[in-house]
Structure 1
Amino acid sequence: MQNEINIPIIIDAVRKAGNSFLRDYKQNAVPQTMDELVKQLEEIDTLCMSSLKEDLSNHYPDISWHIGDEFDTDSQRNPAEKQEYWLCDAMDGAIQYLQHIAGWTINLALIRNGKPVFSVIFDPLANEMFWAQDGKGAFMNGKPLEISHKTDMSVMLAVLEYGHQDKSGNNLNEKIGTTATKLIQNFGIVRNYGPHGLQLAYIGAGRIDLFVQEDLDTYNWIAGLLIAKEAGAAILTTDGTPWKWGSESLLVAQQNITEKYLQIKSIN
């Protein structure tokens, strides 16, 4: 196991991978069929992974790779059975990229003994590089991140997200609907933006005040969770318990905002 990591090398590799997509952004036709969509998503994965592996495997030959398939619900319940590996979301927000709209990033996390110890999220359009190391803080373009310190919910921005898992027969759609209603009734601004990891990084940067999701979406969350945590956010489930790998909901905000949300949620 390689304990020391060279942060500039990793950041440069992620930046190179992200910037490689800028040339063709908005140049290809928006996919009109499922076959076209799947083909273009596979091309994105291939291009991104080839770039990252080319730049990082020479420096870290003993660290294996794991692509986070957000459509595979069962695989998200536990870390991979490896002591150390890269977990890559080749493009978080790939649908936005293919639809010619902003909100797509390259996310990479280093998982060691079942927990993220380093993560990076790069937004090529904004040229913003978010990263965090376990126990050593979170940063954006080299500057330390700090979560929001708002106290007035009428000026807070809350985001509600959902994943790709099957929501038939498990009451998840009803649960999400109830959550949306609670947020709209109590927070000044409610949005659904798309790239989950980037939104969690925005929690760390104080741009978003609360993130909530009522289903399992580990692969989309993991890189952003470390960034939000290292910036000072509380990482919980929507039941108020500490989040752990495999938890089927997520609530992220400064501690006093999570407390307010949980009070709101408990009111019928």
Structure 2
Amino acid sequence: MQNEINIPVILDAVRKAGNVFLRDYKQNSIPKTRDELLQQLEDIDTWCLHSLQQDLLLEFPAIPWHIGDEFDTDAQRTPAENAEYWLCDAMDGAIQYLQHIPGWTINLVLVRDGKPLFSVIYDPLANEMFWAKDGEGAFMNGKALTISDKTDLGIMLAVFEYGHQDKSNTGLNEKMGDTVTKLLDNFGIVRNYGPHGLQLAYVGAGRIDLFVQEDMDTFNWIAGLLIARESGAEILTTDGDLWKWGSESLLVAQKRISEKYLQIKSAK
């Protein structure tokens, strides 16, 4: 296990992969069948993982790799058994990429002892590289990040998200509908953007004031969670408990905003 990690090497590898996708952006045929969609998604995962592995193997030869399959709910409940591993979400927002619209990133996390040690999110379209290391802060293109210090809900931007769990018999659709209603009733601006990790990084950058999701989406969250936390955000469940790996909801904001949201949620 390597105590020190070569951050520039990691950032260069992620940037290289993202820039290849940027070069090919809008060159694919938008998928028109389920089979076409699944094949193009698989192609993205395969190529991105190969590129990252190839560039990081020499520096980190002993660290294994895991793909963050956001459709596998059970796999998201606990960290892998390895003491240290790369967790790769080859492209967060791949659907947007294939549909020729913005909102896609390359995400990579180094997990150690069941917790994210280092994470990076690269947005090629904006040329923005977000990264964080546990206990050492969060940064975007070399600049330290800090969360929003707004106090007026009327000018705050809140975002809601959802994942790929089966919502047919779980009440999740109703719960999310109630969440969106409460956001619309209390926050000045409410949006749903798409790439979960990038939105969490935006909380860290002070661009988004509150992120809320009522189902489990660990693999989509994990890179952005470290960035948001290292920027000063509070990482909770929507019940107000401290978030841990496997939690089935997520609330991320500065402490004062989280407290206001939880009061709103509990009000009848």
Instruction: Say whether the fold is shared (TM-score over 0.5).
Output: yes
1:214 counterpart letter in structure 2: E
1:119 counterpart letter in structure 2: S
Hey, what does 2:236 align to over in structure 1? Answer: 236
Question: Cα deviation per residue 1:121-169 (whole Å; 9 max; x = unaligned)?
Answer: 0000000000000000000000000100000000000000000111111
Q: How far did 1:249 drift?
A: 0.1
> What aligned pairs does 1:75-154 form with structure 2 within 5 A after superposition?
75-154=75-154
List, as ranges, runs of 4+ consecutive aligned residues in structure 1 with deviation greater than 4 Å: none
Hey, what does 1:261 align to over in structure 2? Answer: 261
Question: Cα deviation per residue 1:8-37 (whole Å; 9 max; x = unaligned)?
Answer: 000000000100101211111110000000
Q: How far did 1:224 drift?
A: 0.1
> What aligned pairs does 1:209-220 form with structure 2 within 5 A after superposition?
209-220=209-220
> What aligned pairs does 1:67-82 form with structure 2 within 5 A after superposition?
67-82=67-82
Q: How far did 1:105 drift?
A: 0.2
2:115 counterpart letter in structure 1: K
2:111 counterpart letter in structure 1: I
- Whole-angstrom distance in 1 between the partners of 2:23 and 2:218: 30
1:200 counterpart letter in structure 2: L
Structure 2: gaps of 5 or more residues: none
What is the RMSD of the two structures over their aligned residues, measured on CA atoms?
0.4
Query: What is the TM-score of this pair, normalised by structure 2?
Result: 0.99
Query: What is the TM-score of this pair, normalised by structure 1?
Result: 0.99
Question: Cα deviation per residue 1:237-262 (whole Å; 9 max; x = unaligned)?
Answer: 00000000000000000000000000
- Whole-angstrom distance in 2 between the partners of 1:187 and 1:158: 7
2:45 counterpart letter in structure 1: D
- Whole-angstrom distance in 2 between the partners of 1:142 and 1:9: 15
2:82 counterpart letter in structure 1: K
Residue 32 (structure 1) aligned with residue 32 (structure 2): yes
Q: How far did 1:120 drift?
A: 0.2
Hey, what does 1:198 align to over in structure 2? Answer: 198
Q: How far did 1:58 drift?
A: 1.3
> What aligned pairs does 1:45-60 form with structure 2 within 5 A after superposition?
45-60=45-60
Hey, what does 1:175 align to over in structure 2? Answer: 175
Report the count of equivalent residues. Answer: 268
The alignment-based identity, stated in percent, is 77
